[in-house]
C-alpha cells in the first residue's frame, strides 16, 4: 500500500481546531486575502498555507491565510507571488500583485486572538453559528 503524502494527510478541516480557524478568519477580516470575497458575498472560506504544506510549510498561524475555496483551489502549490499576479489580472480593477502581497503581509502582522474566537463560539453556541454571526459582532 503506498504511503500517503502530506497533502492528502491534511486535507479537510480536522487538522486545525475550530477556534484557531475562526481566529484566523477574524484576523483576516472574514474575507479572502487574495480576491477580497467575503462571507457577506456568500463564499465559503478556507485556510491556505503561504508555504504549501506539501513543500514543508507549517500549520502555524503565521503560515496560514484566509482564502475563498475558489482561490485556494486555483493556487495549488504555486508561489504566492505568482498567484498574486494571476489574481490581479483576473480581478482587473486596478489591484496590483503588490497590493495583494501587501494585504497578505498586513493580515499576517495582526494577532490571532484564539480566546476571542473561543468566547464568540461559546456565546453563539456552535462553530457554525459563530461563523455566521461573527461578522456582525461588535467585539470582533
Mean of per-residue pLDDT scores for the chain: 85
- Of 62, 67, 93, nearest to 78 by C-alpha is 67
> Residue 128: its pLDDT value, please?
76
| pLDDT confidence band for 102 (50 / 70 / 90) | very high
pTM: predicted TM-score of the whole model, two decimal places: 0.83
Mean per-residue pLDDT, 105-132: 89
CB neighbour list of residue 25: distance below 8 Å, 6 or more residues apart: 45, 66, 131, 134
Amino acid at each position: 500500500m503506498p504511503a500517503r503524502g502530506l497533502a492528502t494527510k491534511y486535507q479537510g478541516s480536522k487538522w486545525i481546531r475550530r477556534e484557531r480557524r475562526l481566529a484566523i478568519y477574524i484576523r483576516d477580516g472574514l474575507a479572502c486575502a487574495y480576491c477580497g470575497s467575503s462571507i457577506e458575498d456568500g463564499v465559503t472560506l478556507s485556510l491556505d498555507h503561504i508555504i504549501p504544506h506539501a513543500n514543508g510549510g507549517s500549520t502555524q498561524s503565521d503560515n496560514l491565510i484566509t482564502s475563498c475555496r475558489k482561490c485556494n483551489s486555483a493556487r495549488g502549490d504555486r508561489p504566492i507571488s505568482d498567484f498574486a499576479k494571476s489574481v490581479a489580472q483576473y480581478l482587473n480593477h486596478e489591484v496590483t500583485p503588490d497590493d495583494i502581497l501587501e494585504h497578505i503581509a498586513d493580515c499576517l502582522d495582526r494577532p490571532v486572538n484564539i480566546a476571542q474566537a473561543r468566547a464568540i463560539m461559546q456565546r453563539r453556541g456552535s462553530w457554525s453559528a459563530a461563523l455566521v454571526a461573527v461578522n456582525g459582532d461588535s467585539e470582533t
